[in-house]
Amino acid sequence: MKQIFVSWLLSVLIVGTSYGQEWNKWETDNFTILSVDEEQGKYLYKNIEEVKGWTLERWGLPNIKFRTKCKVFCVSDAETMKRFFGLQRSHGEVRGQEIVLWLLLGDTPAASIPRPLTYVCMHELRAQYKLHNLGFWATRGMMVLNGTKSQIRRDLARLDEPFHANQKLFFADLLFQVSAVEWKKLDAGTRDVFDAQAAMVCLLIRKELGEVQFSRFLRSGGSVKAVGYRDAAAFNAVFKRYMQHLLSELDKEQLPNEYIQIEKEG
């Protein structure tokens, strides 16, 4: 696996050179940063470790050290991202023990870095602490809520139409059982619905019950009994009312920014 990755990395660097662009390189404790734009690379070098800590610690999770350094490829425009990597937007991936981020920094850093970084951080947390119960719903929900305020509002609002049209939604226990492999098989619209509901579950537990209960819920793999509900039916009744209220507040533009932002307690 490592040799395959190294060959792939070299091919990327060769492609960049063939277009007359040179990759600049920086190293931090957890990241190897490669950037065509020197200023963007310097920005990552100075800030990416802090952003990594923020993505985890605001949820009451430990700021772990990666098992291997994460390779970060940074470009400044969508055309280069597509030409070099075949990607439309920033993306994170874990291949065995190899951790990779592709960052499109043409947008603001807050809109392009935290979400893919959250993905690889959660993967590492699951592997290092052997948290086999840590469901994919948690990764997707936290990714949504680690975005900017406008990103969060947009992504939560995607649930409005399917919710009010009584389309099939993800409730307990289905929401907590969908794996990364199964999620990738869903069509784009259904992925959006899953992500929005995962984010709303995270908000429900974290905002209404607190950081300690949220941690307990994560470690239980989404066991509703771990946070005081009798069974899935009891949880779903509360969750449905909660979604209805949140969507109504979003629609009326009355949902406070403070509510959709996660802050570390204590």
Task: For tokens 């579950």, name the residue.
Answer: 201
Whole-prediction pTM: 0.91
Evaluate whether residue 213 is within a structural domain.
yes
Q: How many domains does the chain have?
A: 2
Query: Which of 94, 109, 124 marks a domain boundary?
Result: 109
Its domain, for residue 207, covers 136-260
Which residues 6+ apart lie within 8 Å of 150 measured at CB?
A: none
Task: For tokens 């190294």, name the residue.
Answer: 6
The tens place of each residue's pLDDT in the chain, 266 residues long, gives: 343 344 445 445 544 444 556 889 999 999 999 998 999 999 999 999 999 999 999 999 999 999 999 999 999 888 988 888 889 899 999 988 899 999 998 778 899 999 999 999 999 998 888 777 789 999 999 999 999 999 999 999 999 999 999 888 999 889 999 999 999 999 999 999 999 999 999 999 999 999 999 999 998 988 999 999 999 999 999 999 999 999 999 999 999 999 999 998 87
- For residues 172 and 101, membership in a common domain is answered with no
pLDDT in tens, 153-205: 999 999 999 999 988 899 988 999 999 999 999 999 999 999 999 999 999 99
- For residues 165 and 250, membership in a common domain is answered with yes
Tell me the torsion sign for CA atoms 216, 220, 222, 224. Answer: negative
Task: For tokens 């920086």, name the residue.
Answer: 26
- For residues 149 and 256, membership in a common domain is answered with yes
- For residues 75 and 158, membership in a common domain is answered with no
Evaluate whether residue 251 is within a structural domain.
yes
Supply 175's token pair: 């929401």
